[in-house]
Amino acid sequence: MWCPCFVHIRRKFIEAEAEDAGFRKRVLQLIKYLFMLEKVAWGRSEEERLRIRQEQEIPILDLFN
């Protein structure tokens, strides 16, 4: 699965002057949640990181498609 750098995506949404502020806020919340999950995952074993990414992060990433 192709996964762009969400740090750069986040910055673009912060800088954007979107007409739909609700959409912008929702995207930023999802990215914040992904960052939080990654922070948790990096403190775990390799197997646990994989499980967190597959079970919790991939469904969030699928929302961006």
Residue 8, SS3 per DSSP: helix
Residues in Cβ contact with 13 at an 8 Å cutoff, skipping those fewer than 6 apart: 24, 27, 28, 31
Q: How many Cβ atoms from other residues are within 10 Å of residue 27's Cβ?
A: 19
The pLDDT of residue 13: 74
For 5-20, how does the pLDDT look when each residue is reduced to its tens digit (9 = 90+)?
Answer: 777 777 777 777 667 7
Q: How many CA atoms does the CB half-sphere of 7 hold within 13 Å?
A: 1
Residue boundaries of the structural domains of the chain: 29-65
pTM assigned to the model: 0.76
